[in-house]
Copies of this chain bind each other. A is one copy, B any other.
Amino acid sequence: MFVSTYESAIDAKGRVSIPAPFRAELGGSSRIFLWQALDGSGCLEGGGEALMAMYRATLTRLAPQSDVRKVLVNRIIAGSADLKMDETGRIKLPEDLCKAAELDGRIKFAGNMDSFQIWNPDKHAAYNASMEAAAASPDVMAAFGRAYSEVLHQQGAGHYNGPKLVEGGEG
The residues of A with any CB-CB pair to B shorter than 8 Å are: 1-5, 21, 25-27, 33, 38-40, 49-62, 65, 67-68, 70-75, 77-82, 110-114, 117, 127-128, 131-132, 134-136, 139-141, 143-144, 147-148, 150-152, 154-155, 158-166, 168-170
Contacts and interface: CB of A to CB of B under 8 A. Distances in A.
A6 to B, nearest CB: 10
Contact of A72 (B80, B82, B140): B140
A143 B53 contact: no
A113 B77 contact: yes
A161 B150 contact: no
B61 A147 contact: yes
B71 A135 contact: yes
Nearest to A35: B4
Given A70-B131, A170-B161, A78 B140 contact: no
B166 A158 contact: no
A144 B39 contact: no
Given A27-B164, A58-B144, A72-B135, 18 more contacts: A25-B163, A27-B163, A49-B169, A54-B148, A54-B151, A54-B166, A55-B148, A56-B113, A61-B150, A68-B139, A68-B140, A70-B131, A71-B131, A75-B131, A75-B132, A77-B111, A77-B113, A161-B169
Nearest to A144: B72
B151 A162 contact: no
30 contacts: A3-B52, A3-B80, A4-B82, A5-B78, A5-B79, A26-B163, A27-B164, A38-B141, A53-B165, A53-B170, A54-B148, A54-B151, A56-B113, A57-B151, A57-B166, A58-B150, A58-B151, A61-B150, A62-B143, A68-B144, A70-B131, A71-B134, A72-B144, A74-B131, A75-B132, A77-B112, A78-B111, A114-B165, A161-B169, A161-B170
